[in-house]
Homo-oligomer: A and B are copies of this chain.
């Protein structure tokens, strides 16, 4: 069914995506989103804090909603916690489906909801100082698209 993971250590998105795809030869298409820590802009490090009793269960619940809404051959959700450096992968979502539209919509929906609803608190280090990041209005607009 769905493969949902919350990882404290770095992961290799290319290897994860290759394994996910190889296991689903019946899917015509796989859409993936990879989010990474942006280089440039002065951010030296990023930390994502999670809360064990809530964060992974909510990610699993989201995966279940995605599976209920679109006809998928597979869904992969991997999210990092802890301290990451520029260029490090943060999140990988992949949706495999017989029909391309389903795979795009499922990955897009999963990302919008992961970003706006997931139990992660983020802080960034710049000029040697850590600073907590507040929610962005854009996230609420993104999620409102899905009705």
Contacts and interface: CB of A to CB of B under 8 A. Distances in A.
A56 B34 CA distance: 27
Contacts of A101: 142
Which of A35, A36, A101 has its CB near the most chain B CB atoms (within 10 A)? A36
Contact of A35 (B22, B28, B34): B28
Interface stretch (A74-82, A103-111, A126-134): A103-111
B98 A25 contact: no
Interface string A12-47: 011101100110011111111111101110000000
Contact of A13 (B15, B18, B104): B18
Given A14-B14, A101-B142, A31 B31 contact: yes
Contact of A38 (B31, B35, B98): B98
B36 A27 contact: yes
A3 B29 CA distance: 21
Interface in A97-147: 98, 100-101, 103-104, 107-108, 111, 115, 142
A36 to B, nearest CB: 7
A144 B112 CA distance: 24
A87 interface: yes
A35 B100 contact: yes
A25 B104 contact: no
B100 A33 contact: yes
Lowest 4 CB-CB distances: which A-B pairs, in order? A25-B39, A14-B18, A14-B14, A25-B87
